Each structure stands twice: as structure tokens, then as C-alpha cells.
Amino acid sequence: MRVALIIIVALSLALAACGDGGQGGATADAVAADVGGDAIGVDTAGEDVGDGAAEDALAACEPVEVLVAEGGGAVPGEILHLSPAEILRGVRYRYTVEPPPGGRHAFEDDRPIYTPTFRVTALGTYRFRLDVIRLGEDEPCATSATEVVVGPGGGVLVELSWRTPGAGDATGGGDAVRADLDLHLAHPNARGYDLDGDGVGEGWFDDRWDVYWANLAPNWAAAGAADDPELFADDPDGGGPEVIVFAAPEAERVYRVGVHAWDDRGLGPSVARVRVVVNGVVALDRETELAHHDLWEVCTVAWPSGAVTPIEDGTGAALVRHEYWDLLFGL
Ligand SMILES: [Ca+2]
Ligand SMILES: [Ca+2]
Ligand SMILES: [Ca+2]
């Protein structure tokens, strides 16, 4: 094992050194390889570490275990470091990933590399596969896989998913094109726009104090990112999930969670589902139907108590502001 790791490190350095210069020949251009389905991976592109491996056309082919330095569990936002348990001669390796719904497919570094890194952003199980492929061939001669389960971790995690019945999408699964809903998390400093005319901004779309698709990872509280929230990605046409992780909220603050129906794509209303997880425990799990441009003010989250309180409209129903956007432009 020790020898194998030294080889991996040396090889990574060698690949890094020739990554962009073109001197590396075979490795320079062959990067992300689509192997069909949703899996997109990184490939070692035929780079060979053995001496005299050219004669290894019939090299022994066997599954090579994928090692994950962080182990079998992770939290959203964590970067995983993958490596092969050993390096065989006369073959190349290809990594691919099957993420849970809403998870991204791309590795952090798409150069040919034996030791790729991958950032997990969705809750659920990621399956990493390592194909062993004989040089000059396309199909793997051996494959292994390992799984990493991503759980919510500490602090606050907010997850939005949705289904759009008008898209023939009864379950939220599959590849149907759906409406575009957006998750928001507003800081108490957020002002945004005053669209109800009461003289106080509602906070949504504040370019510094609302976390949403145009403000994915603001710097709040102290310098540095440790106390900042992050929205990992905007999903424009799937069913989500969109996930905001806020591992270390500031004390004595009350934050608000919102969902805006940005574009129904002519498919009619969607059913939005929001889950708020506080220190690993689901504190709120609610659904509300939203029409085009509706804005659902979902709940408040107080810190450090972790209290999650649904926002209601005075009759006990969810507070949904209608045409929240049209008004902004006087439409
Ligand atoms: Ca979206
Ligand atoms: Ca207002
Ligand atoms: Ca900060």
C-alpha cells in the first residue's frame, strides 16, 4: 500500500506538470469521458506507470477498489479525495459517478488523473465507479464501485424539491422538464423590494442578504467562509433539489426561508416541498402549491435555538405572495 501511494503521488505530480503544456501527448486532450447514462467521469487516458508496459496487451485485468480518504460518509459541500487501491500495468482507469437526484456529475478537476477530487452537494448516496480498461480498448475489463452517503451534518440545511403535474410529472422523478422554482434564504438585514407597499422591504432578491440563484455564496458575519451559507446550484428545469447549507449561523439572528416560482414554463402550478434540517433532525417538511411568480414565505429559523416556525397568513394557511416579480417591473 505504501509503495502504491507513493506511485500515485508521483504520478499525480507528473500529470499536473504536463497537464496544459501539450508535452504530455496522450494525456493532454483526453479529459472528461462520457460513458453513457448520466455518468460523467475522469479518465487516466492511457497513461502508463509500468516499465516495459507496451508488452502488456494481455495484462492481468482485475477490479481495483476505489478508496475514499473521507470514508463512507460526508456532508454537503465536502470535497472527497478518491484514489485507486493499486495501479495495474497495461491498463487505464476511468472514474464515473452516479449522484443522488440533484447532485452534480462533474469532478473538480477534469484533467486525466488517478486521484480525482469530487465535491458532494446533495443529500443521498453517491456511487463512484472505477473502470479498468486495457490500453487501446474502450470497454472496461473490470469494474468496482464504492458508495458515499451524504447526510445533513450540523447547523441548518434547507432543501427544496418540486413536482409539476402539468409536465406529466406526478412523482418528481424522471427527466420531465418542469417549472423553475428557486430557493431563498434571507438574513434579517435583507431588504430587497417593498412590493406590498407597506414601506418595508420583504427581503427577497436582496443582492447581499438573500441567498438565491444570483447570490449563491455571500460572505456574512465574520471574514472567511466558515460562517457563510451556500446554495450549491440553481436547478432551472428539473425538480430540484436545490440545497442551502448553513453550518454555522450567527447567534441571535432569525433567518427566513422562501420559495419563488420563477417560471412555470406554461405547465401550470407546481407543488413545492421544503425540508429544513437542524443539527441532523428534520424540523419542518411542508408542501405548498405555487403558481407562476408566487412567492411562498415558508418559515423562520432562529439561532442558536434552532427553532423553526412556519410563516402563516393570519388564517393558518401558508403565506404565499402572488405575482411576486411582475409587481417589481410594474407588469
Ligand atoms: Ca431554480
Ligand atoms: Ca413590504
Ligand atoms: Ca463570513
* CA 107 / ligand 3 centre spacing (Å): 26
* CA 201 / ligand 2 centre spacing (Å): 4
Q: Which of 53-57, 192-196, 235-239, 253-257 has the highest mean pLDDT?
A: 253-257
pLDDT at 6: 40
* CA 324 / ligand 2 centre spacing (Å): 11
Which tens digit of pLDDT belongs to each residue from 305-323? 999 999 999 999 999 999 9
pLDDT at 178: 86
* CA 209 / ligand 3 centre spacing (Å): 12
Task: Give the number of the ligand closest to the Cα of residue 235.
Answer: 1
* CA 229 / ligand 3 centre spacing (Å): 9
Selection from 192, 101, 163 nearest residue 290 by Cα: 163
Collapse the DSSP code of 314 into the 3-class scheme (helix H, G, I; strand E, B; otherwise coil) and give the result. Answer: coil
Instruction: State mean pLDDT over 172-182.
Output: 77
- Relative to beta strand 253-263, strand 295-303 is antiparallel
Rounded (10°) CA dihedral 281, 283, 287, 292: -100
Cβ atoms of 152 and 280 within 8 Å: the answer is: yes
Q: Which of 97-106, 128-137, 175-184 has the highest mean pLDDT?
A: 128-137
Which is more confident, 307 or 172? Answer: 307
Task: Give the number of the ligand closest to the Cα of residue 229.
Answer: 3
* CA 203 / ligand 2 centre spacing (Å): 8
Task: Give the number of the ligand closest to the Cα of residue 195.
Answer: 2
Which residue type occupies 43?
D
* CA 205 / ligand 3 centre spacing (Å): 19
* CA 65 / ligand 1 centre spacing (Å): 37
Collapse the DSSP code of 56 into the 3-class scheme (helix H, G, I; strand E, B; otherwise coil) and give the result. Answer: helix
Domain residue spans in the chain?
2-13+25-150, 156-329
Query: pTM (2 decimals)?
Result: 0.79
CATH tag for 156-329 (out of 2.60.60, 1.10.3470, 3.30.420, 1.20.120): 2.60.60
Phi, then psi, of 12 in degrees rounded to 5: -60, -40
Superfamily holding 2-13+25-150: Immunoglobulins (2.60.40.10)
pLDDT at 45: 66
Summary mean pLDDT of the chain:
83
* CA 195 / ligand 3 centre spacing (Å): 29
Which tens digit of pLDDT belongs to each residue from 5-41? 444 433 333 333 333 333 333 322 222 333 333 345 6
* CA 314 / ligand 2 centre spacing (Å): 16
Least confident residue range of 38-47, 128-137, 194-203, 294-303: 38-47
Collapse the DSSP code of 204 into the 3-class scheme (helix H, G, I; strand E, B; otherwise coil) and give the result. Answer: coil
Instruction: State mean pLDDT over 155-170.
Output: 89
* CA 244 / ligand 1 centre spacing (Å): 12
* CA 127 / ligand 1 centre spacing (Å): 25
Query: What is the Cα–Cα distance from 329 to 331, expressed in whole angstroms?
Result: 5
Which tens digit of pLDDT belongs to each residue from 260-285? 999 999 999 999 999 999 999 999 99
* CA 241 / ligand 2 centre spacing (Å): 29
* CA 29 / ligand 1 centre spacing (Å): 33
Which tens digit of pLDDT belongs to each residue from 46-58? 554 444 444 444 5
* CA 248 / ligand 3 centre spacing (Å): 10
Is residue 1 predicted with pLDDT exceeding 80?
no
Instruction: State mean pLDDT over 151-173.
Output: 85
Neighbours of 114 (CB within 10 A): 22
Burial of 190 (0-12, 13-18, 19+ CB in 10 A): buried
Is residue 171 predicted with pLDDT exceeding 90?
no
* CA 177 / ligand 1 centre spacing (Å): 12
Instruction: State mean pLDDT over 183-204.
Output: 95
Which tens digit of pLDDT belongs to each residue from 61-80? 999 999 999 999 999 999 99
